[in-house]
Amino acid sequence: QQNKQALATKINANVKDIALTTSTTDSMNAILRTLVLIPGDEILIDMHAYISHRHVAEFVSNRGGARLVKVYSPFPIWKKQDYIDAYIDAITPRTRLVILEDICSSHGLEVPIEPIIDYCKSRRIQVLVAGANSFAVRKVDVHRLGANWYVGSCHKWGLAMKGTGFIWAKEDSQNLRPT
């Protein structure tokens, strides 16, 4: 409980909204495998996203007959608006979930996720943020971000031991079920 309280303080969350896991990938699996998708639904993920996150998104999409859309975001990011536009242009009426990394695992650049989250919220599209590379490096305020889920690992930059992942879930997005 003490660890959860320290984590809650770090990300501006309530302890009751946090679950401890073994890693960001474990957290992604816990969330994505609970989604009920139907043929035609879409999940968006950055083509540069961490490979295990892309794999679980692909597995879940295939299982439900949905389509995994890999967003071809510009690299390097010269203008933040180009990155934002790449996501917004990829969103369709069939988009059910957008997966974002706030610091991309493959190139280490901070990406402008806030405008994308705001756009998704205005269209009632769920958002999952993978924060494995940002947690403890920059200020994270999950309430200000407004995503449905924020997942991370404390071992990378938080200097905790391996096996210290977490899920933060917005209150209306806590209906996760074991898989």
Q: How confident is the model at residue 24 (pLDDT cuts 50, 70, 90)?
A: confident
Mean per-residue pLDDT for 95-117? 85
This prediction has a pTM of 0.90
Res 1 pLDDT > 90: no
Q: Is 134 helix (H, G, I), strand (E, B) or coil?
A: coil
Q: Using pLDDT thresholds of 50, 70 and 90, give the confidence band for residue 163.
A: low
Averaged pLDDT, 101-106: 73
Query: Could you tell me whether strands 149-153 and 126-130 are parallel, antiparallel, or unpaired per DSSP bridges?
Result: parallel
Two structure tokens written together for 81: 């608006």
Cis? peptide before 76, omega within 30° of 0? yes
Across the chain, mean pLDDT equals 87
Instruction: Name the band, by pLDDT with cuts 50, 70 and 90, for residue 161.
Output: low
Distance CA 170, CA 16 (A): 10
Best CA proximity match to 71, nearest among 93, 91, 94? 91
The backbone torsions φ and ψ at residue 19, rounded to the nearest 5 degrees and listed phi first, read -125, 140
